[in-house]
Structure 1
Amino acid sequence: MTLRHLKIFIAVCDTGSMTAAAKELFIAQPAVSFAIAEMENYYGHKVFNRISNRLYITEVGKVLLRHARQIAAQFDDMEAEVRNWNSAEILRVGSSVSVSSTFLPGRIKAFQGEHPGVTVQVSVKNSAEIEQLVVNDQLDMALIDGPIINRLIACHKVGASGMVFICPPEHPWAGGTIEISDLNNCSFIVRERESMERRLLEKLFQHNKIKVNVVWQSISIDAILNAVSSGLGVAAVSGVFAEERLRAGAVSQFHVQGVHLSRESFIIYPQNKALDDLEQDFLRLCVDPFHPSP
């Protein structure tokens, strides 16, 4: 059973005869008769009663007609939407929490300046979740913190920012330098477990056999900064996020001897994906934001 059979059947029902349906569809009348006969053989039911050279739709034919109209209408909608896709283009972009707060907004603004008719849909989650959405083709591209270890993902570095250790202004470590062993058993405020900042810290702690007391974990950078300024513990965050609070004196920076943490950001997409023109433009704006479009 094909869409052609259904459309012929609908035409016969609408015109009242196979001859009229053939004229409407610009096909030979025997082709219409043959298609209806195939349908009746396929379903094992008569869809028309033939009385005095006239066609009368049967009850099962009425059921078939109702479904046939729905299927034909859905097919026509699909055809129109796909054929007119260029008039409603969408770019699905994912981002980690950190990148969405810093790098991403400017890149999207620049992209929309070049492509004002394109809708950019942004999804913000932690890096591990975003990676999986890219692999599953639920996102076209994404900007996340690295390193990227998934072999199914292609990546290009777009930037890096240093991380800083912060504490309440009244803390004994404020403005000073400590040994990494001093972090043992201190109250630490961290990002959620799958975030890149959390991974970097856990790697640092494991390598140096440091155990801290995680008293607060959050996906919100602001919540972490507020918790530190309230005296609930210390933290390590991207310097970009801490700048304003440091200038205002709400938090203070301290250094850990011999420790320099850096968070790298990457744009990613499926490894074997052939990027279309829109995706290539977005990639260019992220990797080389000062290079004009050709």
Structure 2
Amino acid sequence: MTIRHLKVFLAVAETGKMSAAADQLFIAQPSVSQAIADIEKYYNVRLFERLSRKLYITPAGERLLDYARHIVALFDEMELEMKYSTEHTTLKIGGTVTVGTTILSELVSRFEAENPPVTLTVLVDNTPVIESMILKSDLDLGLVEGEVSSEDLIQIPAVEDEMVLICGTGHPFAGRKTISLDELQGQYFVIREKGSRARSFFEKILDRESVEIVEKWTCTNTEAIKNAVMDGQGLAVLSKRLVERDFEQGRLCILSIQGIRLLRSFTLIYHKNKFLSPPLKAFVQACEEYKD
């Protein structure tokens, strides 16, 4: 059993075809078939079933998959560390849309300025995508909104984030500082897409308080949400960091909800089996110590 065997197995698991795995790895298809046969013989298990000209991973294959991903990722990390640690290190960081729009750029710039041998590459997407990529070792660490579901991820609340209710200057609520939850009943809302932690955070509060709103717009883009609110399309709940400048410029209004504080955390996540190299530990510390 070698790292090469595991890399071949991962390629077959990801593509679902021996031929596609061979193309991905730039090797002959018989070499792929032989590597899979070697693993199956070594562990006395069947890793794939062939149905309708496509390969489907078996329960035994699923068990191997998680180990293989992390063994290969750790091996690749070791290779980079041993070959290039004296020259340069690259960390792959993921952030959600709100994190990416508010604090991530400043956080990354500060960190790179204080740690010249380290470069951070950044992906901005929603929480489920970031979570999935960390589980597959495609990202080293994520900074997301709220909590994640996988028990294989370490979660560290890092940066406090307050969300606020906003409306346009022509809305009936404009000019007020506080409204009650009951006044939200039946109101039009411009809201984030399903899967967004900002959306699920607010929906949990509405469900708990038995408040029903009308979802008029669904947006993945925070600027589109703000523009729709400014144009009178409805209310929205966004991170205060995203709307403070617009509020100061008189383009929209910020409202408090009586008896409710919309407070949450941006959460650091990484795989429980992840080796925390010194640069990665330094970035975790930078996140925990971040102040606006």
Q: Give the match for residue 84 of structure 2.
A: 85
Structure 1: segments with no counterpart, 5+ residues: 1-77
Match of 1:219 in 2: 220
CA deviation map 1:100-148 (0-9, x unaligned) = 1222122211221233233321010011211111111110011111123
Cα contact 1:167–1:229 (8 A) shared by 2:
yes
Does the 8 A contact of 2:159 with 2:287 survive in 1?
no
**1:257, distance to aligned residue in structure 2 (A):** 1.9
1:143 touches 1:265 (CA, 8 Å); kept in 2?
yes
Match of 1:236 in 2: 237
Aligned length: 211
Structure of higher CA gyration radius:
1
Any residues of structure 2 matched to 1:62-101 within 5 Å, and which?
Answer: 84-86=83-85, 87-101=87-101
Structure 2 unaligned blocks of 5 or more: 1-75
Q: Which runs of 4+ in 1 moved over 6 A?
A: none
Equivalent residue, structure 2, for 1:255:
256
- The offset of 1:175, in angstroms, is 3.1
Displacement, 1:259? 1.7
- Quick check: 2:168–2:232 contact (8 Å CA) kept in 1? yes
In structure 2, distance between residues paired with 1:272 and 1:244: 41
Structure 2 counterpart of 1:246, which letter? F
Bigger shift: 197-206 or 254-263? Answer: 254-263
Query: Equivalent residue for 2:208?
Result: 207
8 Å contact 2:189–2:213 — kept in the other structure?
yes
Distance 1:223 1:195 in 2: 15
What do the CA deviations read for 1:133-183 (whole angstroms, capped 9, x no partner)? 111111001111112342111122221121111111121212323321221
Q: Which residue of 2 aligns with 1:267?
A: 268
In 1, the alpha carbon distance for the partners of 2:205 and 2:122 equals 32
When normalised by structure 2's length, the TM-score is 0.67
Map residues 1-294 of structure 1 onto 2, 5 A cutoff. 84-86=83-85, 87-176=87-176, 177-289=178-290
For residue 88 of structure 1, report the CA deviation from its aligned partner: 4.8
C-alpha contact (below 8 Å) 1:91/1:279 kept by paired residues: yes
Give the conservation status (yes or no) of the 8 Å contact 1:175–1:253.
Answer: no
* RMSD value, Cα: 2.0
Supply the distance in 2 between the matched residues of 1:171 and 1:142 (Cα, whole angstroms).
37
One-letter amino acid of the structure 2 residue matched with residue 260 of structure 1: R
Paired residue secondary structure (1:237): strand
Identify the residue that residue 37 of structure 1 maps to in structure 2: none
SS in structure 2 of the partner of residue 263 of structure 1: strand
1:235, distance to aligned residue in structure 2 (A):
0.7
Residue identity over aligned pairs, in percent, reads 29
